[in-house]
Amino acid sequence: MTIAEERIDRLHALARTAVREGHEDRARTYVRRARRIAERNRCGLDRSFKRFTCDRCDVYLRAGDNARVRLQDGHVVITCSCGAQSRYPYH
Ligand SMILES: [Zn+2]
């Protein structure tokens, strides 16, 4: 694991905790910071991080807290509290 990946991993955990504690703005800050590190280092965000961040408002999505997850036509549909939806194929 590179230093960049370790930092991203740490920010991922911090964002998840922030959402759990109701601090969505703090979670957005961590998500944006992680994205910046990923861009600068061209290492990309891991898939789970990508999936659990909202493309519109950058918040970390946590099912049951600020995100609704349901299955539809073989897809996972995640709805953020801002109203944005993302769909992924269900494996
Ligand atoms: Zn959102």
Q: What is the pLDDT of residues 13-66, one digit of tens each?
A: 999 999 999 999 999 999 999 999 988 887 777 777 788 899 999 999 999 999
C-alpha span between 20 and 46 (Å, rounded): 21
pLDDT of residue 47: 73
pLDDT of residue 1: 82
Q: What's the gap in Å between 19 CA and the centre of ligand 1? A: 12
Q: What's the gap in Å between 64 CA and the centre of ligand 1? A: 14
pLDDT of residue 32: 95
C-alpha span between 78 and 48 (Å, rounded): 13
pLDDT of residue 42: 78
Per-residue pLDDT, averaged over 82-86, amounts to 95
Pairing outcome for strands 75-80 and 85-89: antiparallel
pTM score of the predicted model:
0.85
Give me the phi and psi of 82, to 5 degrees please. Answer: -80, -10
SS3 of residue 71 by DSSP: strand
Q: What's the gap in Å between 42 CA and the centre of ligand 1? A: 24
Residues belonging to the binding site are 54, 57, 80, 82
C-alpha span between 17 and 81 (Å, rounded): 17
